[in-house]
Amino acid sequence: MTQSKIKMGKFTNIFLTGNLNWERMGGLPGLLLTIADQGVKSINVHSSNEHIGWACAAWRHFIFRQNIDLNPNSLAVNRLFEDKYFYALAIAISKDKDAAPLTEEQEKEHEKVNDAAKNIVKRMFPRPGDKVDSKDATSLKLNDIVSPDTTSSSYIIQIKQTRGRFNVEKANKLGVPKGSIRSVLSRGEPITLEDGTVVTPDQVLEPTINGPRVLVIDCPGAEYVDSVLSQDWVQSLSPAKHPKQTGKLLRSSALDNSASPPLKRQRTDNIDSPYDGLSEKPAVVYHFLGKSVNPFEGPYFDWLLKSKDLFKEDCMHFIQHPDYAPDGITFDSAALLNIKLRYLYPDNFRVLQACDAVKQMPANIPENIRLGYGFGVVSLEPAVQYDGRRERSSGAVDMAEIEELTLSPLKAKLVEANLSIEGEPTFVPPEIPETHLKDVEVITIGTGSALPSKYRNVVSTLVRVKPGERKSILFDCGEATIGNLRRLFGVDESIKVLRELQILYLSHLHADHHLGAISFIRHWLEANEGSDAPLYVMGPWKYFQFLHEWTQLEEAVSMGRIKFVDNESFIIGSSFLADNNRKIDEIERFAITDSPSFFYEMKEKVGLSDVRTCKAKHCDLAYCVSFTFDLSENQKFQVAYSGDTRPTNMFAFKVGQGADLLIHEATHENGLEKEAAKKRHTTIGQALDVARKMNAKYTILTHFSQRYPKLPNIESTSDTSYMSENESTSDYEGESLIPLDNGRTSVTGTDDLKVALAFDGMGVKLKDIEHQKRRYEQLKLFFAEVAEEESKEEQEDQEQAKPATKKKSGKGK
């Protein structure tokens, strides 16, 4: 949406389709954070699944926003939602027609669990004036769900009727005076003229126009097909079937639907409805089909073709199926930047992978049935019409042609600036002195902070200690990490990379550092199917609590293969219990009981001689870490990772001292020390000072601010001594912030360091790091061009956003 400039400031409703799992709603937490920042004050999230509120409550450890009201709304078993412009009827598609209803005891427990979940969500998204007691949402217990709900959410969307146009000629004949009285008739109310004549709306209004009906059918697998075929998709939305609940949510009594058994808590009181008796044939149908559902043969397709009484004759059908979906490049801006960076550093940037769909749509399919692609738009009023100008239907692309179009003007600018690299001899970096580390490879999958942008995804860094062997670690896992990994390596090669991975390390619970972890774990499990190798997930104990809860919804994530290790297991510093003031029973379940059983196992199985963590100065349960890998009897590799933090001596001198590789956040530019201190981040210069104090042999800076699409400046002066008024000279463990030891307060340049800036999709060996700066001037030119393009686009957007002004009349001149 960021790439396509879709404005989200007017979002009011989100309807989730399919099963309630991370694949379908994993993007929702990040979206909520984004739209909250864009000014959305209230949002409804709908699903036919009874556990939608529970699922949102499971996010309590990492989602909190005071400026948005979230309403997770279960429209289970054909409940109706009314908006200003449409009605939405949820249809719960079941894979088990004989599913038994809940017992009375289960009903009570279910209500209890859901009520507790609602209370948690309320505290996660408090409204202005809400009284939230001292127990914040993160400390509240979320009970296990009573019974799994494997139904798939589908919807009937009925656009409301539009009153006919006001007929001025008829009104004049009836003697209706001009003015506001006519608006009364337009609103559908009768009026009485001065002579006592009653004029009713039907006398002056054209016939009411029925709105179109849209179906959204989500059939996740072949086991759901029978349920789809048995539904009444043209049913009337009548008061007998759809009783009213207070507010805008209308809950129905049970319909005659054997696939979705009724629940005792449904209401049955009747109301008047503007759609009483209206049965409309669908004009548009979206078919979201799972891999095991054949879209062009068999029962589902036969039903689609033969149901002439169900659909309008010219009904548009859009079919989305994994085998018929091309895997094209979505982020054009990032792809073009990749081409430019690859031109400068051909050994460090891969050609981004894109491919056509596995299958092509058969010939002789009726014209009104087409494949559905991203960003295709259907206008529903005044006429139903498809607009495919923005749709993403391409797969594989001619990269050579795109490179030529992209690089030709850029090369000319380099020549003009006397920075051309054409004709230069091929540069081969000399081997590093530490020959046992020559194969270590670092892949910076995502390098941005806070939210994804057009040029940088949120942070994730893969370190392949021995490529080709099972000795890799992933540091943090922002949203879409697995997608970007596949974009870099392709499907087959990415499976090999996943099989190498042994540790997924999460530094803290801010959403930009782990929202991609569930999807990543699921793909890791698929890639390692048939192997008994575990994945060690090392992170804050509250993440394991979230993972334990979420796997109640996520069938594909098997906790038997996931072994959690608490970051506190390797802490250097003060007591975990004393520092966090936690109840011992909370610790026992997730840290003390589970973690030690894998503490020593991870070190032995992975081949680690040492693991150290310390508290990061950022937020609760945030950590810096150092891993030391045994490569042979006398050879080791130490990598230190800061996560998000202010610069601290504990990390520099105790945890990461002497590291072969330091990966450090550098969120803020030099000169923004005050802002960095306020937000508990590090400037570029401060990160470099940590590298000096750590005596790190090689350093990669990452996690850059997304505010501006410019090149981080590593050449400017940084005040490394700055601390805000509220910042203590001591960290959580009583250790000092950097610097307090040598009196140096400013540093310029990086001549004394082997350092590189991270970019999305960059892959470097240690020998490459110090040589990135040899083309720093070309990089500055590239990013100056990007900044100029962004500035132009921003000005164009501002011009388009301005309200149109009426031209002044020329009369009287």
At 456, the amino acid letter reads R
User: Is the peptide bond between 148 and the residue preceding it cis, with omega within 30 degrees of 0?
Assistant: no
pLDDT of residue 797: 67
Tell me the average pLDDT across 50-60: 96
Reported as type and span, the H/E element at residue 597 is: helix 596-606
Tell me the average pLDDT across 548-552: 92
CA distance linking residue 25 with residue 32, whole number of Å = 11
CA distance linking residue 526 with residue 554, whole number of Å = 14
Name the class of domain 435-770: alpha beta
Could you tell me which of 71, 7, 1 has the C-alpha nearest to residue 39?
Answer: 7
CB 556 within 8 A of CB 518: no
pLDDT of residue 580: 45
CA distance linking residue 595 with residue 95, whole number of Å = 37
Q: What is the DSSP string of 741-778?
A: SS---EEE--TTS-EEE--TTEEEEHHHHTTGGGGHHH
Quick check: 360 pLDDT over 50? yes
> Where does residue 263 rank: exposed (0-12), middle (13-18), buried (19+ CB within 10 A)?
middle
Using one digit for the tens of pLDDT, what is the confidence trace for 657-671? 999 999 999 999 999
CA distance linking residue 461 with residue 662, whole number of Å = 12
Quick check: 587 pLDDT over 50? no
Which range (312-326, 387-401, 686-700) has the least confidence? 387-401
In b/e form, how buried is each residue of 714-737, taking b as 16+ CB within 10 angstroms? beeebebbbeeeeeeeebbbebeb
pLDDT of residue 726: 52
CA distance linking residue 297 with residue 319, whole number of Å = 13
Return the structure tokens found at 380.
């529903």
Return the structure tokens found at 644.
């998000």
Quick check: 743 pLDDT over 50? no
> Where does residue 759 rank: exposed (0-12), middle (13-18), buried (19+ CB within 10 A)?
buried
CA distance linking residue 416 with residue 487, whole number of Å = 34
More confident position, 541 or 736: 541
Extents of the domains making up the chain: 1-74+103-146, 168-204, 435-770
Q: Which residue has the tokens 């210069």?
A: 685
Percent of the chain having pLDDT more than 70? Answer: 83
More confident position, 464 or 262: 464
CA distance linking residue 797 with residue 5, whole number of Å = 9
pLDDT of residue 727: 57
Mean pLDDT of the chain: 85
pLDDT band at 309; cut points 50, 70, 90: confident
